């Protein structure tokens, strides 16, 4: 009985990690003027700064999601190993 519970927990944790990695792959860079419905600045420097800020925010958001994906995947691996050991005993 305990082996089945560990296997189900492994499956659930693996799916959760996969969901976080999927969400991480969907992060896009959106400049602030686009978020507020404004036109792109005519000044090239302001435009570049807006895109740079958007890329930094997107990278930060993706890193946050990747962190949780790795944690959930590590938990799934640990539970999978525990399920394997439990099935041997």
| Residue 34 included in any domain | no
Q: What is the pLDDT of residue 2?
A: 79
Q: Evaluate whether residue 24 is within a structural domain.
A: yes
Does 35 fall in a domain? no
Q: Which residue has the tokens 């399920």?
A: 83
Please give the residue range of the domain that contains residue 51. Answer: 2-29+44-88
Q: 50, 32 in Cβ contact below 8 A?
A: yes
Residue 37 inside a domain? The answer is no
| pLDDT of residue 35 exceeding 90 | no
Q: Are 17 and 73 in contact (CB under 8 A)?
A: yes
Does some domain include residue 39? no
Total domains in the fold of the chain: 1
In a domain, residue 11? The reply is yes
Q: Is residue 6 part of a domain?
A: yes
Q: 4-22, pLDDT tens digit by residue?
A: 999 999 999 999 999 999 9
* 64 lies in some domain: yes
68: nearest Cα among 26, 20, 24:
20
How many helices (DSSP H) and strands (DSSP E) are in the chain?
3, 0
């Amino acid at each position: 009985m305990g082996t089945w519970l560990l296997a189900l927990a492994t499956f659930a944790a693996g799916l959760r990690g996969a969901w976080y990695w999927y969400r991480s792959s969907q992060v896009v860079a959106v400049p602030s003027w686009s978020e507020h419905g404004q036109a792109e600045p005519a000044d090239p420097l302001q435009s570049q700064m807006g895109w740079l800020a958007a890329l930094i925010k997107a990278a930060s958001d993706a890193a946050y999601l990747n962190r949780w994906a790795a944690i959930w995947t590590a938990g799934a691996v640990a539970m999978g190993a525990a399920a394997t050991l439990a099935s041997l005993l």
